[in-house]
Structure 1
Amino acid sequence: MPHVTVSWSEREQLSLSAEAGLDAIDARRWLDEQFVALDCEPLRASGKVLVADKLLALAATGGPEQFADAAWAAQYARAAVAASGRESVRVDVATGKVSY
C-alpha cells in the first residue's frame, strides 16, 4: 500500500497509508487549494511552486495540528502519492526535503 511519512523532527513524525482514489490532476488541484487556504508562501524566489514544494509548505504551515484532522491527513497522503506518481513519499520539514 502506498505510504507517506511526514517528519517535523526526530521525535515528531507521522506515518500515513495512502488509499487510492485520486488521479494526478485532482491531487494537484487539492494541493493548490490547500496551499492557498493555509496561506502558504512559495519557497522559491521565482514564485514557481513544484509538487514537492507544496507538500513541504503544507506540512510546515499546517504542522502536526493540521494533521490531527484525520480526514485532512488522509487526503494529504492520497494527494502526495497521486501528484508525485510515487508509492512512497517522505516529507522532512526540518531539512526541507521530499524524497521518494
Structure 2
Amino acid sequence: LHSLPWVGPELNEREKEPLDNILAGISKYMAKRNTSYVKLLQVWSATENEQEEYLYCLWAQISKLRDDGWLERHVIRHYIAFDGALASAVKHNLPT
C-alpha cells in the first residue's frame, strides 16, 4: 500500500484488472478488520476527532487516489526518464 502513490498510475494504466482485484481484496479485508482497539489509541478523552490507526489512514488515502484516477502531482517520478529500459525489462505476474 505504501508504494501505490508512486506506482499506482502505471499499474492502473498497464494492469488495471489485476490491480483492481488486489484493491478489492484489500477493501474486503479492511471492512472485516476488528477496530475495537481504536479507543485505546485515543490520546485525549475529550477530543472530538477520533484517533485512527496508520493502516486505515493509508487505505483512505489510497482509496481517494484510486477514486481520483490516480492523479497526483506531488510525487516525483524519476522512473519516467527510464521508461524505455523499464518497458523492455522482465515483467512479473500479479497474483489474481
**TM-score, normalized by the shorter chain, greater than 0.5:** no
More strand per residue: 1 or 2? 1
TM-score class, shorter: under 0.3
TM-score (norm 2): 0.28
